[in-house]
Structure 1
Amino acid sequence: MRIQMLAPQTQLRHKRLLSIAFPLIVANITTPLLGLVDTAILGRMGGLHYLAGAAVGSLIITQLYWVCGFLKMSITGLSAQADPTRAQSKVNVVVQGVLASILLAIVILLLNPLILKAGLWFVGEQGLTNQSTVDYFETRIWGAPAALTNLVLIGWLVGQQLTRSVLIIQVFTNIINIIASLVFVYFFDWGVTGVAAGTLVAEYASVVMCFSLVVKALSGQAYDLNLPNLASLLRLASLNANIFIRNLALQFTLAFVTLIGVGYGTEAAAMNAILMQFFSLIALGLDGIANAVESLVGRAKGQKDFVSLKKEVNTGLIWSSIIALLYTTVFYVFGDEILRLLSNNEDLFILFEDYHVLVLLLPLVSHWCFLFDGVYVGLTAGKTMRNTMLISTLCVFLPTYYLNNSSGNMALWLALLAFLASRGVLLWGDYYLNTRRYPHTRLFGQP
């Protein structure tokens, strides 16, 4: 589609969405680069247990923070809905979110021995690997207050459509992390602890950068730093609880695919790891569009501009569809080349032929749920996000897998595909039915 061929208002809408989405897509792309540097450092320490242990420790931390991603999602929606002409309403969202993040971080720090014990239980007894895991985790976990606060502040910036600031933060954090890790490992000789300490330093440096950009965004505007009232805290707690349950259900399905896939043998587990990388590539682009839609839909809801809201959703759907088609085209033309970048195992190349159609379908099916997740984050409609996720998990994902489990590992991916389709259809259906009866739709008052 050529944007210049569209009507002026429509053209402006498309350009605005892309200007918000593009920095987020670039920021998403930079994230895996940090993992590559950490892997390169750990892989040169002289023992595989360093790399394996840090990978396990990082996985435990990453999953923990991923589940806490409800903080970012809820604050993004509330930030977008805040009255742009009243700095106080925007500040109140920041204060609520930071308070919630600190309280949650305190709980995590108090429970960190149990969290580590649970993580090691899943891994099993691995000798030196377990010790490296402990060294990494016990250092990295002290970054929880910074990591969770960063989720809130980045969510607020996305809601304010300041996505270039988010890109700056991401690049800044990665640079600090890389420099600090190199210094701690090669100058101070801290080993695995040094890599974790490098990330720890980067997380706190990121908080400082985030706060400075939030203050800059509010400069010249009058506001007070007041503690939130009970009603606003209860609303935030309700919204966060619903998105938390949604995140747990999503995490369950992804963990199910990984863990059950291991039971089908080494080749199946390796293929699943490859397919998850294709899925991660899809998320880089589709997440950027979805995040842009979050801020635009939230702003339209906050201004009670229903006409603009529908137009923003339609614009987002157009670009989400375009990117999905691009992914499918790239995977069709270059799928084998991408696979060869990820592995040199000839057996996997043969096995990949059975999954190639599935890889082509993944973007076309999943972009609906990515896009409408963004819509419902912007609407802060946590109940709908929770309910559609639970229905898709319990009534679609699990039954599809068990009805097809004679197909082995393929059944897992058929179930995941059905799960993604179900989420997209349910969210779109709910949106369609509710927007037909605006202004009485429950979406506009739902926590």
Structure 2
Amino acid sequence: MHKDILKLSIPNILTNLTVPLLSMVDLHLMGYLNSELFMGAVALGGVIFNFVYWGFAFLRMSISGIAAQAYGRNDNQGVAMVFYRGLFIALAGSLLLIIFQVGLEKLSFVILEGSADVKELARNYFYVRIWAAPAAISLMVINGWFLGMQNAFYPMLISVLINIVNIGCSFLFVKEFGMQERGVALGSVIAQYVGFILAIILFLKKYKWILHHFNVKAIAVISEFKKFLNVSGDIFIRTWCVIAVFTFFTSQSAGFGDVALAANSALIQFLFLFSYFLDGFAYAAEAIVGKFYGAKNKAKLIEASKKLFYWGVFFGVSFTSAYLFFGDAFLRLFTNKLNVLAEAEKYLWWLVFIPIASFGSFIWDGIYIGATASKAMRNTMIISSVVFFFIPYYLFHKTLGVHALWMGMLLFMLSRSVSQSLLAKRAVYVKLE
């Protein structure tokens, strides 16, 4: 079982680690320009796209679980329909984003905190990067479907190519052409379309047989769409809770000033680095648990769950230790500005505890998605975000300042781990009895 877990998780880890690596490169490029405003602008602009793209992340998560269960049942028609329905929603949604981009921009900067200078630079970033939406959202569907088919290798190839192209273009546009915030945004656009082209090539190479199952009437069957959307709807709400927490975190950081925003923009990369690493095991859990759940093999499902948690504990302890001993050195990768570093070091110790407090939430997310236990996921996320993030922040922000944001983040991550543990037996395992 460990071999099966690592076979799926290692490519997923390599895939996921390229995402925070890209963010780190962008911050490095902006952090070494002549003002901290550029760091804040890319962070603020990035929040909008986190808000948008994470809003569509329910597609990747729901598709991987549903496709894995169809794969476990050997249901080729079901596997094909999941792919087509997801791609239809992705293309329709991205088209709407392009059409209504001006309204989205205006609404976003009304909601988000930040100085006028930072917002102006962030707008420049936004109006370039928005054109990546069709490719980026479609890739969520394709990568989720590949994972449901027990194929973590293709998403890894796609992600590695995207990030190599993105990093190369960003360096070229920023360092050579002086395009500043527009340069990193244009690098993202080019890279997403290069990745989308590779995804189509890989799909046709191995899964061309899916094309024979294309049937407009079958795709549009209301009852099947309803099942798909029920699971997707719960995950959508769950995802928007995550979006709300992280968007609020960055927006309120901006409200504490440009230096606080730059400092928290660097620190949050520590959390993203850990989360993308653990998500490699969560994605493996989606595929493995989904397969056993679809095959109604409870014994193997329980065995897989236990062994997934062995890896979660190991990496939770490892990252906590790394942040404890090397956190100051990591911060200097992002900027050389002493005022930003001094500000970030005030809050660094909160990051030390997050990996050990939160590893369970990532593993449970994968297990719940594989079992399509979407209602329980939704409910635990609502409780964690409202009761353990927003309420503590509003109770203590006047006395603790930025520390209240980090306290809320730590409580949010810990409560997810605990609440999902308490509900797991009823939400996942009892259903197979």
Which residue of the partner structure matches residue 395 of structure 1?
Answer: 387
Which residue of the partner structure matches residue 218 of structure 1?
Answer: 207
Match of 1:115 among 104, 128, 131: 104
- Report the Cα distance in structure 2 between the residues aligned to 1:33 and 1:192, rounded to whole angstroms: 17
1:355-374 to 2 correspondences below 5 Å: 355-356=348-349, 358-374=350-366
Is residue 289 from structure 1 mapped to residue 281 from structure 2 by the alignment?
Answer: yes
- Change beyond 3 A, Cα 1:400–1:215: same
- Report the Cα distance in structure 2 between the residues aligned to 1:37 and 1:275, rounded to whole angstroms: 14
Q: 3-state SS of the aligned residue for 2:105?
A: helix
- Change beyond 3 A, Cα 1:195–1:225: same
Is residue 235 from structure 1 mapped to residue 224 from structure 2 by the alignment?
Answer: no
Deviation per residue, 1:329-386 (Å, 9 max, x gap)? 2223323333444455389569747752x33321111001111111111122221111
Q: 3-state SS of the aligned residue for 2:432?
A: coil
- Report the Cα distance in structure 2 between the residues aligned to 1:259 and 1:98, rounded to whole angstroms: 32
Which residue of the partner structure matches residue 430 of structure 1?
Answer: 423
TM-superposed CA distance for 1:266, in Å, is 6.4
Deviation per residue, 1:9-30 (Å, 9 max, x gap)? xxxx101111211111112222
Please identify, of 408-417 and 380-389, the stretch whose mean Cα deviation from structure 2 is larger. 408-417
Which residue of the partner structure matches residue 5 of structure 1?
Answer: none
Is residue 159 from structure 1 mapped to residue 152 from structure 2 by the alignment?
Answer: no
Which residue of the partner structure matches residue 332 of structure 1?
Answer: 324
- Report the Cα distance in structure 2 between the residues aligned to 1:335 and 1:51, rounded to whole angstroms: 19
1:30-429 to 2 correspondences below 5 Å: 30-35=18-23, 56-83=44-71, 85-121=74-110, 122=112, 126=116, 130=120, 133-178=122-167, 195-219=184-208, 223-227=212-216, 228=219, 229-263=221-255, 269=261, 271-342=263-334, 345=338, 352=345, 355-356=348-349, 358-405=350-397, 406-429=399-422
**C-alpha contact (below 8 Å) 2:317/2:355 kept by paired residues:** yes
- Report the Cα distance in structure 1 between the residues aligned to 2:346 and 2:45, rounded to whole angstroms: 34
- Report the Cα distance in structure 2 between the residues aligned to 1:253 and 1:404, rounded to whole angstroms: 16
- Report the Cα distance in structure 2 between the residues aligned to 1:184 and 1:331, rounded to whole angstroms: 32
**C-alpha contact (below 8 Å) 1:143/1:200 kept by paired residues:** yes
**C-alpha contact (below 8 Å) 1:246/1:386 kept by paired residues:** yes
Higher relative contact order (CA 8 A, sep 6+): 2
Partner amino acid, structure 1, of 2:311 = W
- Report the Cα distance in structure 1 between the residues aligned to 2:429 and 2:276, rounded to whole angstroms: 32
TM-superposed CA distance for 1:298, in Å, is 0.9
Partner amino acid, structure 1, of 2:146 = L
TM-superposed CA distance for 1:261, in Å, is 4.2
**C-alpha contact (below 8 Å) 1:87/1:218 kept by paired residues:** no
Q: 3-state SS of the aligned residue for 1:82?
A: helix
Q: 3-state SS of the aligned residue for 2:204?
A: helix
- Report the Cα distance in structure 2 between the residues aligned to 1:215 and 1:203, rounded to whole angstroms: 19
Please identify, of 57-66 and 243-252, the stretch whose mean Cα deviation from structure 2 is larger. 57-66
TM-superposed CA distance for 1:420, in Å, is 1.5
- Change beyond 3 A, Cα 1:334–1:28: same
Partner amino acid, structure 2, of 1:207 = F
- Change beyond 3 A, Cα 1:304–1:236: same
- Change beyond 3 A, Cα 1:167–1:144: same
**C-alpha contact (below 8 Å) 2:16/2:276 kept by paired residues:** yes
Which residue of the partner structure matches residue 3 of structure 1?
Answer: none
**C-alpha contact (below 8 Å) 2:267/2:331 kept by paired residues:** no
Is residue 17 from structure 1 mapped to residue 9 from structure 2 by the alignment?
Answer: no
Deviation per residue, 1:231-262 (Å, 9 max, x gap)? 12112222222212112212222233333345
Please identify, of 400-409 and 93-102, the stretch whose mean Cα deviation from structure 2 is larger. 400-409
**C-alpha contact (below 8 Å) 1:339/1:349 kept by paired residues:** no
- Change beyond 3 A, Cα 1:33–1:269: closer
TM-superposed CA distance for 1:270, in Å, is 5.2
Aligned-pair identity in percent equals 31
**C-alpha contact (below 8 Å) 1:136/1:193 kept by paired residues:** yes
TM-superposed CA distance for 1:115, in Å, is 0.5
**C-alpha contact (below 8 Å) 1:88/1:223 kept by paired residues:** no
Partner amino acid, structure 1, of 2:78 = S
Give the TM-score, by structure 2 length: 0.85
**C-alpha contact (below 8 Å) 2:114/2:255 kept by paired residues:** no
**C-alpha contact (below 8 Å) 1:331/1:359 kept by paired residues:** yes
Structure 2 unmatched runs, 5+ = none
Deviation per residue, 1:402-441 (Å, 9 max, x gap)? 454434433332222222121111111111234563435x
Q: 3-state SS of the aligned residue for 2:296?
A: coil
**C-alpha contact (below 8 Å) 1:243/1:382 kept by paired residues:** yes
Deviation per residue, 1:300-324 (Å, 9 max, x gap)? 1111111111111111111111111
**C-alpha contact (below 8 Å) 2:50/2:243 kept by paired residues:** no
Please identify, of 249-258 and 290-299, the stretch whose mean Cα deviation from structure 2 is larger. 249-258
TM-superposed CA distance for 1:32, in Å, is 3.7
Give the TM-score, by structure 1 length: 0.83
